Amino acid sequence: MTISQEDFFNELAAGHSGPTISEAKREYFQTRLRNRLFTFILAKFVSEQKRGLTKAKLGRRIGKSPEVINRWLGAPSNLTLDTVSDLLLGISAEELTPQTEALLYQAPRNFLPGDWIEQEEQPNRRQPPRPKDELHLGNEAQEQKRAPSPPELLGRQ
């Protein structure tokens, strides 16, 4: 499924005097942020596991029970800003460095479907070039994976 990025961002493009950005649209971007933070922390944890970190050790380090660590590292919806801070401290002795990037006017992009999907003949179709990373959350982990643009809704690549 491909959704026009232009339509999706209409509310955002209206500028400071534009209409109220809908609650649903705000929820969508809140979800994106929560999921990105969660993935970022998971990547940190997986990386430190290779150096001997366990959930039990992490729990001891930040004074939380294994159940709490399991919950925090289980799903994005269990994170708060405070838990993000605790986890980053305990996992890698790091803190977030905020940085943002504009949502508007990015080049359109989408994944191509797999070979197993019969496609209409599209001789000129090519994968569009990737724009620069959208979010800079710190150091090495963010280079490994790129955040989605809203039109991407088919398959992990």
Partner 1 sequence: MVSGPWTSGEMGLRCSRLRGDLENLITAEFITVCWDPFKARNEQIGRLHRVEDEVWDLRAQKPKPGLRAFFRFAERNVFVVLTAAPRSVPVSWLSRLPLLGRESREWRNAIIECRTEWKKLFPAHEPIHGTDINDYLTGGLL
Contact between 13 and partner 1 (CB under 8 A)? no
Binds partner 1 (CB under 8 A): choice among 66, 74, 108, 128: 74
Contact between 8 and partner 1 (CB under 8 A)? yes
Minimum CB separation of residue 88 from partner 1 in Å reads 16
Q: Which positions ≥6 away from 145 have C-beta within 8 Å?
A: 39, 43
Helix (H, G, I), strand (E, B) or coil at 154: coil
Question: For partner 1, which is the closer residue by CB, 61 or 150?
Answer: 150
Give the binding range for partner 1 (CB under 8 A) out of 84-92, 93-101, 122-130, 144-152. 144-152
Helix (H, G, I), strand (E, B) or coil at 33: helix
Site for partner 1 in 25-64 (CB under 8 A): 25, 27-32, 34-36, 38-39, 42-43, 46
The full DSSP string for 103-151 is: -TTPPP--PPPPTTS-----TT--PPPP---S---SSGGGGT--PPPTT
Q: What are phi and psi of 107, to 5 degrees?
A: -65, 140
Is the separation of the CB atoms in 137 and 36 below 8 Å? Answer: yes
Contact between 148 and partner 1 (CB under 8 A)? yes
> DSSP label at 62?
T
Give the binding range for partner 1 (CB under 8 A) out of 1-9, 56-64, 87-95, 123-131. 1-9
Contact residues for partner 1, defined by CB under 8 A: 1, 3, 8, 22-25, 27-32, 34-36, 38-39, 42-43, 46, 70-71, 73-78, 111, 114, 116, 141, 144-148, 150, 152-157
